[in-house]
Structure 1
């Protein structure tokens, strides 16, 4: 006796049979694909209940194929998204690919806000699961562009900031500085985000120092001080200026002291620690400086 099929396997077998069936006198191809799609969706949900996430994602992908063939792009986009959510359980590359299919359909439908949400998800997958910072940057920047187009500028600005952080990690300092400046410029005009401007300017200045470009760092400090007369009095500005002066003098001891003093009050995050290490190497390649 053949082993009994699980509910998911039964639905999958029915779906494949319906998908491959011929169209009769009293049915249409649209009906066939709709019915097959429903069965693939049933199989996908049952696989998810069984915690068979790869199989669930595959079944959702087959559902999406049926929806596309039946001319139902909205349902197809949703099926691809469901596939991505299943694939996220251990299959990041497949999840990113499924989200890419979702994005393509959403842009065809003119739903750019939703496309931006899914593109941001792609960036998060490449950042946290795929370990591909360049692809994460590209996804965040694309999401930012669509958010801006849909007048969701705060969310778009947040994506730019995330992209800037990653660009600095990739040593693409000029691009990072440009994005930090754009985010800061937007934030200056918002009462909700104006407080964050000093942090963005600090990060831009640190990028200039990490690029061993003290001239640009000095120019940016002056520009920021003119844009906001309160900036020079902030801890961020004083910290940046102290680092800049230490770099200009080639004074490793002063550099180390400024870093230590800042860290005592405002704990350095991982991003700043990495950038400061890169700046340190530009002064002198001395282990243990930080």
Structure 2
């Protein structure tokens, strides 16, 4: 959670996190919450508290994707994934962040430019199931929403989908259906 406090954390950073949390949960103004989480992340980076900066950036990425600001979400997820790849204790988390970036890429239809990149990331991070869902199914290229649905069901049978993943996968399915089909 971004709002977890660390010793030595500046008061300004604490205030930005508190304000972001208020916008996030009480006022439900996600754009303003994003702005304050970004400010907190910048302060954390200045304090060389990269773990805390990444936590705030992940909030920004999460909400940016929900607001359909996919390019911003992609950049954040990739940045945090690369940051965590350097830390042996956090390396496993990179898998999740690359997966989320991949989902955002699918939505904006940049699949052809990114398949090789994410295939390499699959090998590096060993995200086999995630890559099977994203890369091995030709459902997107063939506009086959049934094949995509089957790939999602198979993925969900091993790892339950959370609300964010479900939303992103439904948006991908909508792009496969060309915005004309019903989401089942």
- 1:233 shift after superposition: 5.3
Residue in structure 2 matched with residue 265 of structure 1 by the alignment = 158
Residue in structure 2 matched with residue 241 of structure 1 by the alignment = 135
Residue in structure 1 matched with residue 31 of structure 2 by the alignment = 134
- Which range moves more in the overlay, 200-209 or 230-239? 230-239
- 1:253 shift after superposition: 1.3
Give the 4+ runs in structure 1 shifted more than 3 A.
229-233
Which whole-Å CA distance do the structure 2 matches of 1:212 and 1:118 have between them?
Answer: 38
Which whole-Å CA distance do the structure 1 matches of 2:34 and 2:40 have between them?
Answer: 10
- 1:279 shift after superposition: 0.8
- 1:164 shift after superposition: 0.4
The answer to whether the 8 A contact 1:164-1:177 is kept is yes
Which whole-Å CA distance do the structure 2 matches of 1:286 and 1:263 have between them?
Answer: 22
> Alpha carbons of 1:239 and 1:177: their partners in 2 closer, same or farther (altered >3 Å)?
same
Give the gaps of 5 or more residues in structure 1.
1-110
Deviation digits for residues 160-181 of structure 1, max 9, x if unmatched? 1110010001111111100001
- 1:241 shift after superposition: 1.5
Larger radius of gyration: 1
Output the TM-score relative to the length of structure 2: 0.87
The answer to whether the 8 A contact 2:119-2:131 is kept is no
- 1:215 shift after superposition: 2.2
Which whole-Å CA distance do the structure 1 matches of 2:26 and 2:60 have between them?
Answer: 16
- 1:199 shift after superposition: 0.5
Which whole-Å CA distance do the structure 1 matches of 2:130 and 2:93 have between them?
Answer: 11
The structure 2 residue matched to 1:195, chosen from 92, 97, 100, is: 92
- 1:214 shift after superposition: 1.7
The answer to whether the 8 A contact 2:119-2:135 is kept is no
Output the TM-score relative to the length of structure 1: 0.57
The structure 2 residue matched to 1:275, chosen from 133, 143, 168, is: 168
Work out which structure has the larger RCO, using CA pairs closer than 8 Å and 6 or more positions apart in sequence.
2
> Alpha carbons of 1:184 and 1:237: their partners in 2 closer, same or farther (altered >3 Å)?
same
Residue in structure 2 matched with residue 9 of structure 1 by the alignment = none
What is the total number of aligned residue pairs between the two structures? 175
> What do you get for the CA RMSD once the two structures are aligned?
1.8
Give the gaps of 5 or more residues in structure 2.
1-7
Residue in structure 1 matched with residue 147 of structure 2 by the alignment = 254
Which whole-Å CA distance do the structure 2 matches of 1:179 and 1:261 have between them?
Answer: 28
The answer to whether the 8 A contact 1:177-1:208 is kept is yes
